[in-house]
Amino acid sequence: MIFRYLFILFILLPFNAFALIEVDITRGNLNPLPIAVTSLSMDKDSEKKFKELLKKDDIGLEISNVLKNNLKKTGLFNPLNNDAFLQKSDIAHLKPRFEDWALIKAQALITGKVTFVDDKLRVEFRLWDVLAGKEMMALAFTTVPDNWRRVGHIITDKVYERLTGEKGYFDTRIIYVAEEGPKTKRIKKLAIMDQDGFNTKYLTLGNELVLTPRFNPTNQMVTYLSYFRNLPRVYLLDIETGVQEVVGDFPGMTFAPRFSPDGKKIIMSFAMDGNSDIYTMDLENRVVERITNHPSIDTSPSFSPNGKYICFNSDRSGYQQIYVMKSDGSNVKRISFGKGLYGTPVWSPRGDLIAFTKLHKGKFYIGVMRTDGKGERLLTENFYQEAPSWSPNGRVLIFYRETKTNSKGEGFSAKLWSIDLTGYNERLVDTETDASDPSWSSLLSK
Amino acid sequence: MNLVKIFKNAFLVILASLILSACATKKVGTGQLQGDVYTGSDTVEYLASGVKDRVFFATNESVLTTASRETLRKQAAWLRKNSDINIVLEGHADERGTREYNLALGERRANAAKDYLMTYGISSNRISVISYGKERPVDSGSNPLAWSKNRRSVTVKAN
């Protein structure tokens, strides 16, 4: 309702210097903004070059489809069917006939042009406010032609930011565990893909069990658990070079790793003699610090974005609950007091919320609470789901969900899902194989 | 104030578990569950004649039941006779828990078995421990009986 009023207000004041169209992302959006995304136009020479280079008949259309797909999946936008467009896209890019776009109920319009310049792909695009009859943004990018999908993602980030006032999350990757085979003998590999499910690459071969990969802040390194030689240990992997190493020299299982927000430390659990505690290791000087010292299970640690606090789960009260402490391990405070068990706390990149998995009466929930434990909100309920990971703007959570098998133990699957912080817009995330343990990167281009 | 709460909760938990176990034993006619601990032998293998290879646990627990202790005493007796054999204790959890917590829980279960074997004279040098969390279920079912078979510590010959 408020959103509508705001919107009308801006239409009445077309020469207002502030954003004309605004998309409110703080609530579930039942009226996604109608947006026309034209195919990016090309001259004949560029078309021919890209056809040779990329084996795509119409790279302008392909890039606009990346953009449309991203916008649609946010649930905030409704990209209109191109068949309805009245004006040709190359002409619209120079000077849109706004009446034509208003007639098909578009409120925003994206136009653009792709050219082949000095062996590179150059894209320019414009975002228009149809009702106000104004250009809202114009930008151009040049990159290697192979990067064309990323161009689509970067444009989405720009459009999203201009219309919502928040940073986007489209030029990002997901690292996850690809799964195949029967439930009793699952084969697991590390996999990495673009946020929209394209460009999947497998980083391990599946010879050993691998779990819980997480990016470092610059997205070049990954820390994860590997059962290499049947010794479950935390590893560090350089994605570019493929070089791997064991983190630390612990006489037992290390697990549940994550990076500190500055990327200099890994925080993880170390299990010894039936007791799991939380440790950090400095990646430069290899100094190991013990953070918790308690006979209960302390695991799933996650730093606050400023590095000052750590949330984790512990069963020191008798059952798995969420705790917060200072990063040196002092001032431990339990924050989850609702009914049921709580696990996998993970601090929002905005710092104000902690996402978690909750088990209550045989159902699993993904939820969020404030960092003092107040304001708990459950976003989604299912037979089994866990391990939320935040989009870099803190607006979307990705997690995995497993299905219940039938009476013969058949029908098992594991898939990635995403849901908005609002609790709306729950979506299956495309993956080539079954998938679990997703971790969202930060924005690749900042 | 807090103590009162703790006692109250503890009382409720005990009460609940009594009711639950009463229900469970009544409901499961197959006699394969006691409380929610598996007592059947579908998945059990043998290290030697009469020496079961595994023990089972209640949900979220690592406490050894009377039957588990009996199994482990037999394992200890067999290990004392076969002093050249080393073992790996593989701890497991069911699928109804978060992955990371279950890794810790599997480790705790395997160590409960290890501690018991050690009190019966088996040197810790002969025992190594590994947790698989919920990664290696024996039964792929999504039901209480399947889960009970998966909450286990399995003793495996290492050489």
B86-123: buried (b, 16+ CB within 10 Å) or exposed (e) per residue? bbbbbbbbbbbbbbbbbbbbbbbbbbbbbebbeeeebe
Amino acid at site B106: G
Same structural domain for residues B66 and B114? yes
Give the span between the Cα atoms of A106 and A109, in whole angstroms. 7
To the nearest whole Å, the CA of A297 is away from the closest chain B CA by 7
The reply to whether A269 touches chain B by the CB within 8 Å rule is: yes
- Which amino acid belongs to residue B118? M
pLDDT score for A22? 72
- Quote the domain boundaries for residue B118: 31-157
Which residues of chain A make contact with B143, given a CB cutoff of 8 A?
407
Do A44 and A116 contact (CB within 8 A), yes or no? no
Residues of A in contact with B98 (CB under 8 A): 300, 313, 320, 343-344, 357, 359, 386-387
Length of chain A: 446
Mean pLDDT on A297-323? 98
Q: Does B8 touch chain A (CB under 8 A)?
A: no
Provide the pLDDT for residue B10.
53
User: Given CB atoms, is A404 within the 8 Å cutoff of chain B?
Assistant: yes
B22 & B37 share domain: no
Mean pLDDT, range A318-333, rounded to an integer? 97
* Residue A391 CB partners (closer than 8 Å, separation 6+): A169, A172, A397, A398, A418, A440
> Is B96 in the same domain as B78?
yes
Tell which B residues from 52 to 111 touch A, by Cβ distance under 8 Å: 60, 62, 95-101, 103-105, 107-108, 110-111
What confidence score (pLDDT) does residue B30 get?
A: 57
Do the chains contact at A297 and B142, CB–CB below 8 Å?
no
Contact B107/A271, CB-based, under 8 Å?
yes
**Domain ranges for chain A:** 2-164
- Claim to verify: residue B106 and residue B139 sit in the same structural domain: yes
Residues of A in contact with B137 (CB under 8 A): 183-184
Spatial distance between the Cα atoms of A87 and A152, rounded to a whole number of angstroms: 22
Question: For A397, phi and psi rounded to 5 degrees?
Answer: -115, 140
> B15 and B79, same structural domain?
no
With a cut of 70, say whether residue B9 has pLDDT above it.
Answer: no
pLDDT value at A128 more than 50:
yes
* Mutation target vs B (from A254, A255, A364, A410; most B CBs, 10 A cutoff): A255
Instruction: Kindly report which listed range (A182-186, A233-237, A428-432, B9-13) carries the lowest average pLDDT score.
Output: B9-13
- Chain A CA closest to residue B134: A184
Which residues lie below 8 Å from residue B75, measured CB to CB, with a gap of 6+?
A: B47, B51, B52, B53, B117, B155
- All residues at 6 or more sequence positions from B84 whose CB lies less than 8 Å from its CB, including other chains: B159
**Same domain assignment for residues B74 and B19:** no
Question: Residue B72 pLDDT > 90, yes or no?
Answer: yes
Is A297 in Cβ contact with B104 (below 8 Å)?
yes
Beta carbons of B101 and A299 less than 8 Å apart: yes
- C-beta of residue A395 within 8 angstroms of C-beta of residue A141: no
My answer on whether B8 and B64 are in the same domain is no
The pLDDT of residue A75 is above 60 = yes
Bridge pairing between strands A77-79 and A33-37: parallel
Q: What percent of chain A has pLDDT over 70?
A: 94
Quote the pTM value: 0.90
pLDDT of residue A230: 95
Amino acid A29: pLDDT: 62
Give A-chain residues touching B95 at CB under 8 angstroms. Answer: 384, 402
Examine the domain organization and report whether B48 and B66 are in the same domain.
yes
CB A280 within 8 A of CB A260: yes
Mean pLDDT of B36-61: 96
Superfamily of domain A2-164: TolB, N-terminal domain (3.40.50.10070)
Rounded CA-CA distance A323/A321 in Å is: 7
**Domain total for chain B?**
2
- Residue A20 pLDDT > 90: no
Tell me whether B112 touches chain A (CB under 8 Å): yes
List pLDDT tens digits, range B104-129.
999 999 999 999 999 999 999 999 99
Q: Is the pLDDT of residue B27 over 60?
A: no
What does the pLDDT read at residue B31?
73
* Alpha carbon of A276: minimum distance to chain B alpha carbons (Å): 6
- In the prediction, which pLDDT does A408 show? 87
Separation of alpha carbons A435 and A402, rounded Å: 9
* Res A217: pLDDT: 97
Mean pLDDT of A409-429: 95
- Over residues A89-105, mean pLDDT: 95
ipTM confidence score: 0.92
Cβ–Cβ below 8 Å for B141 and A407: yes
Residues B53 and B19 in one domain: no
A233-238 β-sheet, strand order:
A210-215, A221-226, A233-238, A244-246
Is the domain of B96 the same as that of B149?
yes
- Take residue B77 and report the two structure tokens written for it: 């007796």
| Contact between chains at A230 and B100 (C-beta distance less than 8 A) | no
Residue A387, chain B, CB below 8 Å: the answer is yes
* SS3 state of residue A282: strand
Of A232, A313, A404, the CB nearest to B101: A313
Q: How many residues does chain B have?
A: 159
Mean pLDDT of all residues belonging to chain A:
93
